[in-house]
Structure 1
Amino acid sequence: MRPATYYAGPAWRGLVLFALLVLLVGCDQPPQAHRFEGPIFGTGYHVTVYGDFSDKQLASLEDGIKESLDEVDHLMSTYKSDSELSRFNAAPVDESFELSSPTADVIGEAIDIGDLSNGAFDVTIGSAVNLWGFGPEMRPDEVPSDDEIAQALDKVGYQALKLNGNRLTKTKPVYVDLSGIAKGFGVDQVAARLDALGVTSYLVEVGGEIRTRGEKPNGDPWRIAVEKPVSRERSVQRVLELEDVAVATSGDYRNYYEEDGQRFSHTIDPRTGRPITHHLASVTVVAERCSTADAVATALEVLGPKKGMALANREDIAAYFIVKTDEGFKTELSEAFHTYLADKPSEGEKQ
């Protein structure tokens, strides 16, 4: 994959509430904990930093966090008609379009992960996402027909994107939707801003996508809870211990709708143009960058439990699967995931 480029200046900004709960536990009365939060990308952000900062420094931190996320939103939103991504989507076929460096970086990594997953991750899935009512357009009055799905698939295929430096061209009328990677990149940009400002202990969370730096003042790692994939409650499935890494979860249990008793997930398989139907309820991925974790979790969710785990083990991806069975949920861990567990795998967790 292309190495990500981070920007110390204004940096940018992506559904389903991704299945992670932040457990800020550890010391009694943590010294100098500062928290910032607000709305972004149709969800919210929460940032916790430790350190001794003046009021002026705290104001600079808050401004930098907002600036980074707002810039990403301005560049990559499909809900804003004047965003850079929306302008590219409206541009003619075969016209070379000059992108900003952040957007080019995200699309470059998206293409790499599309190749890695044999098309299970595809940022041109937007036409099918919109068809099923999970994009800027409203939910359809009825389930899309086979002909409508086929027409949407005619506009799907990340291979139609040709990236040359910061110039992007499409060879057919694809609609690019970066929601499967943009929130993670937004987390990375906030982390880069905090690093540039000298913050050595922080946790950044945007819509469930997380990145950490350092440890808490008492020496404890950041503890992150993977949520049980059930829509009717919020409870913990597994606790992870993280330091200087990112984590993202993709799941089908919060953003969905039902029609005539059938459940339609927001996760659309780019190869079929239809919502996934297998029994993989959620995937949690740990990676160096949150953009990577975000996109890879989506790819594994599309692939399903068997093919997804095969890819995770082949590529040394730290992945945690929660699979629906007739008896309830079972969990499966890739070989690279074990180092992040806060305790030993429980009974029923397949390794």
Structure 2
Amino acid sequence: MRKAVLTGVLLSLAGCGQGDSLERISGPTMGSSYTVQYVRTPWGPAPEQVRREVERILEGIDKRFSTYRSDSLTEAFNRLPANSCQPMPADVLELVRVGEQLAQQSDGAFDLTVEPLLDLWGFGPQSRSEKVPDAQALAATRQRVGHGHLRIVGEQLCKDAPVEVDFNSIAAGHAVDLLVERLKALGVADLLVEATGELKAIGRKPDGSHWNVALELPRDDRQIAQQVLAVDGFGVSTSGDYRNYFEENGQRYSHTFDARLGKPVKHDLAAVTVFDRSTLMADGYSTLLFILGPERGWEFALQHEIAAVFVTRVADGFVSRSTPAFAQVNKQ
């Protein structure tokens, strides 16, 4: 259920600033990159302070949620045997609760405990190679997957089976929300924050125009902007199968898993983009909708009034459609 590599899937089109009033900082994070653009005012924080705060928050996210560093809290929990508990910070427990909500809403298709499946199929941190596993290995691995094996006891995360959690479907959205709230607390009112492709835009650019976000056509050969939107106050997240996959015997296998089957999803939905006031929820819902596919995902989005754009493969290219709730997003 790992998210697509989204750097470039949502391209910030910030335009030109006026003098030194438009600041931009960027760097590596969570195996990808981040970019923060904001309007600097005479009474606002210095760029050096902004960079320090941004990198402090992102380093904390990495130490809590990364599955690629052995010293993270997530990996320490994943190494624990069944019937174990570990104290966790409040935001880790919050994301576990969000994961449980999404799991229940999707009847178990979304699941934070798919890490063993990711490794088995070649997409996880302990992967050896991308391949279709044999039936016996798949059956054994599925015994170590299931959100129902997690529970929160006070300030501890506990498990009654040797499950392993993977927050990659929601951690980046959470990081963006933390960055936005911190920058607002520092006095920054107009900004666009992006981390690993998840982003949120608030306010306007120095020339008074809105921040623009381009939705990319889901092609793996080149980047083509399908639609450009003016966004204010929304988090944006895209999930798709066109950047992180492998092919075997003519079959395409995505990095996104339906936990109920223990296999990558297989349908004609190429990408889904979700807009939500919470980037965390945009992140989670884009994954959930992509797992459910073009029909069930569309029905779910309508039922829950989710602002989303679905891009589906057809014989001669792609077809795009947006939910009614999407109409409130574009400010142009």
Query: Per the shorter chain, which TM-score range?
Result: over 0.9
Match of 1:205 in 2: 194
1:31 touches 1:217 (CA, 8 Å); kept in 2?
no
Match of 2:304 in 1: 315
1:239 touches 1:342 (CA, 8 Å); kept in 2?
no
Q: Sort the Cα spacing of 1:197 and 1:141 in 2 relative to 1 into closer, same or farther, 3 A.
A: closer
Displacement after TM superposition at 1:51 (Å): 1.8
Task: Give % identity.
Answer: 36
Give 2:4's aligned amino acid.
Answer: V
- Counterpart-to-counterpart distance in 1, 2:43 and 2:322: 43
Match of 1:23 in 2: 13
Q: Sort the Cα spacing of 1:212 and 1:56 in 2 relative to 1 into closer, same or farther, 3 A.
A: closer
Match of 1:5 in 2: none
- Counterpart-to-counterpart distance in 2, 1:312 and 1:280: 14
- Counterpart-to-counterpart distance in 2, 1:245 and 1:142: 38
Match of 1:3 in 2: none
Q: Partner of 1:38: helix, strand, or coil?
A: strand
Q: Partner of 1:96: helix, strand, or coil?
A: strand
Alignment of 1:99-114 (within 5 A): 99-114=88-103
- Deviation per CA, 1:200-258, whole angstroms, max 9, x where unpaired? 00000011100112122333221111110000010111122211110000010001112
1:104 touches 1:165 (CA, 8 Å); kept in 2?
no
Match of 1:71 in 2: 60
**In the alignment, does 2:248 pair up with 1:259?**
yes
Residue in structure 2 matching 1:178, options 155, 167, 188: 167
2:113 touches 2:165 (CA, 8 Å); kept in 1?
yes
- TM-score under structure 1 length normalisation: 0.89
Match of 1:220 in 2: 209
Match of 2:141 in 1: 152
Displacement after TM superposition at 1:262 (Å): 2.0
1:229 touches 1:281 (CA, 8 Å); kept in 2?
yes
Q: CA RMSD in A?
A: 1.8
Displacement after TM superposition at 1:90 (Å): 1.2
User: What are structure 2's unaligned runs of at least 5 residues?
Assistant: none
Match of 1:238 in 2: 227
User: What are structure 1's unaligned runs of at least 5 residues?
Assistant: 1-13, 344-351
Displacement after TM superposition at 1:141 (Å): 6.3
Match of 1:328 in 2: 317
- Counterpart-to-counterpart distance in 1, 2:201 and 2:107: 30
Displacement after TM superposition at 1:140 (Å): 2.7
Match of 1:40 in 2: 29
Alignment of 1:129-140 (within 5 A): 129-140=118-129
- TM-score under structure 2 length normalisation: 0.94
Displacement after TM superposition at 1:55 (Å): 10
Q: Sort the Cα spacing of 1:118 and 1:141 in 2 relative to 1 into closer, same or farther, 3 A.
A: closer
Q: Runs of 4+ in structure 1 displaced over 6 angstroms?
A: none
Displacement after TM superposition at 1:77 (Å): 0.5
2:211 touches 2:231 (CA, 8 Å); kept in 1?
yes
Q: Partner of 1:304: helix, strand, or coil?
A: helix
Displacement after TM superposition at 1:58 (Å): 1.5
- Counterpart-to-counterpart distance in 2, 1:171 and 1:332: 42
- Counterpart-to-counterpart distance in 2, 1:108 and 1:137: 26
Choose 274-283 or 262-271, whichever is displaced more. Answer: 262-271
- Counterpart-to-counterpart distance in 1, 2:128 and 2:265: 17
1:20 touches 1:226 (CA, 8 Å); kept in 2?
yes
1:239 touches 1:341 (CA, 8 Å); kept in 2?
no
- Deviation per CA, 1:1-46, whole angstroms, max 9, x where unpaired? xxxxxxxxxxxxx953222111113x66366000000001110001
Give 1:268's aligned amino acid.
Answer: F
1:286 touches 1:319 (CA, 8 Å); kept in 2?
yes
Displacement after TM superposition at 1:339 (Å): 2.0
Displacement after TM superposition at 1:260 (Å): 2.7
Match of 2:265 in 1: 276
- Counterpart-to-counterpart distance in 2, 1:164 and 1:329: 47
Q: Sort the Cα spacing of 1:141 and 1:33 in 2 relative to 1 into closer, same or farther, 3 A.
A: closer
Q: Sort the Cα spacing of 1:22 and 1:150 in 2 relative to 1 into closer, same or farther, 3 A.
A: same
Choose 131-140 or 219-228, whichever is displaced more. Answer: 131-140
Displacement after TM superposition at 1:112 (Å): 1.2
Give 1:23's aligned amino acid.
Answer: L
2:236 touches 2:273 (CA, 8 Å); kept in 1?
yes
- Deviation per CA, 1:68-93, whole angstroms, max 9, x where unpaired? 00100011101111110111111232
- Counterpart-to-counterpart distance in 2, 1:142 and 1:301: 22
Match of 2:185 in 1: 196
